[in-house]
Structure 1
Amino acid sequence: MRIGDQVITTGRALEILQEYSGRFPDTIRYFDGVVACGRQPVQAPHHVTMADLGRLVVMNTNLRSNDVPRLLAVDARAEFSAVPVDARLEDAAPGSDLLAAATRLYDRFGLGDGTEDAAKRSKLLHLKRPLLVPVFDSHIERVYGPAKDRIGSYWEAARQDLLLAENVAAFDELEAELRKPLQEPPRRHLLALGRLRWLDIIAWTLGGDSEHAARSIATAGR
């Protein structure tokens, strides 16, 4: 598999996903909204709620007190309405109407510049459009930085990785493995996350050094 500028085996990808589900079950439950029967439908799909911001806390998003009223005050109903809840990143090709609409939505939630702002926006909007908006933070930047600089956009770099033939085959293999009978709940829950979130988990793990990983594990967040 190719993840950003790194290459790993499918077996290693499966290990990463399993390790993540074991370390951060609360993230999968509360941020991703995965319950026994699968991922919950998107809640309040056309506006941001306090519940959304609470879910961001589980991901160690570093929300500041003044971020909360600013995000809640954004009126993006028109922008949300222009982006279907089930829209997929794979379909957001450069120049497409979907990418243009998604970009307008993303731009409505700017808090400032830099990676921290991108992390807050991407995690928030991933909750609203989980098949379309890729999560971004400093760990992922370490893995996708060269590809982003080369291609010009992290979204497009992630989209290309989702569509890459060898990655599609690897994702198919991962799904088949996770669908095997008698799987433990954490492994079954991974199925509900979908491939875009898998891409995030794998990239985040690959981009994390020992110090960051230790901090994340200790705080039981991410």
Structure 2
Amino acid sequence: MTELCVGGASVDFDEAKIWAYDYLANDRILSAYPAYDGYPGSPTTFIGPQDLLAPALLNVSQNPIPAYYGLEALMGPLNERLDALPLQTELATAGSKTIDHLVELFGVLEERPTKYVKLVTLSKVLHRKRPKLIPLFDAHIYWCYTLRPDAPVPEQPGRSYAGYRSAWLRAVQKDLHSQLDQWKEIAAIAPGPQITPLRALDIIGWELGKRRR
């Protein structure tokens, strides 16, 4: 039996493939795929107004209008920092400098605080622009990496947002790199549009968090 790990949570690999099939290819089950992954968005590698609607396809925001305007206000600094992250860069093999760039990218949230835009919403926009590099974040992923017993990035009083994100990104990178063949196999289940191993990790992490009770 092969265990597939996301942070401090795990599932049998064969079971994970069943979850992925239901999410990606089972026509009888309604999911965010292919709506989110196939949404056209901006035709460039930078964030455009069309991309700001993508989080709604993952049921992220209960306040879509203020979230849209908040994201719109952040487009300038976000695109400046995206320019330092080539499209083909992969988190699995990224160096420390690239991780630091990602932390700086997320740091826009503190430099220009916006009430309705947090990491959950922002990551849904950014992942589509650099799908091999930028992971998605939500309460289920947080549970896997932080709240689960033996999680690799436990809560730590006094730690900065940047410090948490740096540790989280490195933990995701470890899970991605050490199990890359399995993530590729799960990603290949998608009938089209294609998804990356990083998106496959998110799908299984989301399922693990959803089923934790």
- TM-score bracket, normalised by the shorter chain, equals 0.7 to 0.9
Q: For the residues of structure 1 that align with 2:36 and 2:118, how far apart are their CA atoms?
A: 18
Q: Contact between 2:140 and 2:206, CA under 8 Å: does it hold in 1?
A: yes
Instruction: Please state whether the residue corresponding to 2:123 is helix, strand or coil.
Output: helix
Offset, 1:193? 0.8
Amino acid at match of 2:22: E
Offset, 1:206? 0.7
Q: Deviations over 1:15-53 (max 9, x none)?
A: 11011123345x22231127xxxxx7973322331x212
Alignment equivalent of 1:19, drawn from 14, 18, 22 = 22
TM-score, normalized by length of structure 2? 0.75
Q: Contact between 1:131 and 1:194, CA under 8 Å: does it hold in 2?
A: yes
Instruction: Please state whether the residue corresponding to 2:47 is helix, strand or coil.
Output: coil
Q: For the residues of structure 1 that align with 2:141 and 2:84, how far apart are their CA atoms?
A: 28
Counterpart position of 1:170:
182
Counterpart position of 1:44:
44
Counterpart position of 2:152:
147
More helix by share: 1
Alignment equivalent of 1:2, drawn from 5, 15, 21 = 5
Does 1:104 find its partner at 2:107? Answer: no
Q: From the superposition, tell whether residues 148 and 127 of structure 1 become closer, same or farther in structure 2 (CA, over 3 Å).
A: same
Q: For the residues of structure 2 that align with 1:102 and 1:119, how far apart are their CA atoms?
A: 15
The number of aligned residues is 189
Does 1:197 find its partner at 2:199? Answer: yes
Q: From the superposition, tell whether residues 71 and 41 of structure 1 become closer, same or farther in structure 2 (CA, over 3 Å).
A: closer
Q: Which has the higher contact order (CA 8 A, sep 6+)?
A: 1
**Unpaired runs of at least 5, structure 2:** 156-162
The more displaced of 102-111 and 122-131 is 102-111
Matches within 5 A, 1:45-194: 45-49=45-49, 51-62=50-61, 64=63, 65-74=65-74, 75-76=76-77, 77-93=79-95, 96-109=96-109, 117-145=118-146, 146-149=151-154, 153-164=167-178, 167-171=179-183, 173-174=185-186, 178=189, 187-189=190-192, 192-194=194-196
Q: From the superposition, tell whether residues 175 and 134 of structure 1 become closer, same or farther in structure 2 (CA, over 3 Å).
A: closer
Q: From the superposition, tell whether residues 31 and 175 of structure 1 become closer, same or farther in structure 2 (CA, over 3 Å).
A: closer
**Percentage identity across aligned positions?**
23
**Unpaired runs of at least 5, structure 1:** 35-39, 179-186, 212-222
Q: For the residues of structure 1 that align with 2:87 and 2:11, how far apart are their CA atoms?
A: 31
Offset, 1:86? 2.0
Q: Contact between 2:120 and 2:136, CA under 8 Å: does it hold in 1?
A: yes
Instruction: Please state whether the residue corresponding to 1:8 is helix, strand or coil.
Output: strand
TM-score, normalized by length of structure 1? 0.72
Q: Contact between 1:31 and 1:59, CA under 8 Å: does it hold in 2?
A: yes
Offset, 1:69? 1.6
After superposition, the CA RMSD in angstroms is 3.0
Amino acid at match of 1:55: A
